[in-house]
Structure 1
């Protein structure tokens, strides 16, 4: 879905930037220029940014948890 018509920025582009390490909405605006022209997309762009950040955080937590579980399995295997 196109979020910013002025600069043709999609929700996928916003989420991709977040996953690539974009840490703030200001940084996102500098990179993609989203919500820097008419401003009509600002709320939607910010919501998309925050959802992407929450999703990336949840994925990182899950990946960390999976790594923790693998370490426990290896520890049990070495004890047995």
Structure 2
């Protein structure tokens, strides 16, 4: 889903940036330019960022063999 229409950034790109170490709105701004133009996307960018960070913080369930 497109999050930043000004720069055509989708949620997958934000999650990928987080997986590669970006952990702040400012970092996403530098990497993907989100929020650089109109700023309308920032609330949604924050939600996707927080969700992605929470997924990283949660341990993966171990498969029981």
TM-score tier (shorter): 0.7 to 0.9
Match of 1:15 in 2: 15
Bigger Rg, which one: 1
User: Number of aligned pairs?
Assistant: 62
Higher relative contact order (CA closer than 8 Å, sequence separation 6+): 2
- CA RMSD, 1 decimal: 1.3
Q: Which segments of 5 or more consecutive residues in structure 2 lack a partner in the other structure?
A: none
TM-score normalised by L of structure 1? 0.71
Q: Which segments of 5 or more consecutive residues in structure 1 lack a partner in the other structure?
A: 67-80
TM-score normalised by L of structure 2? 0.86
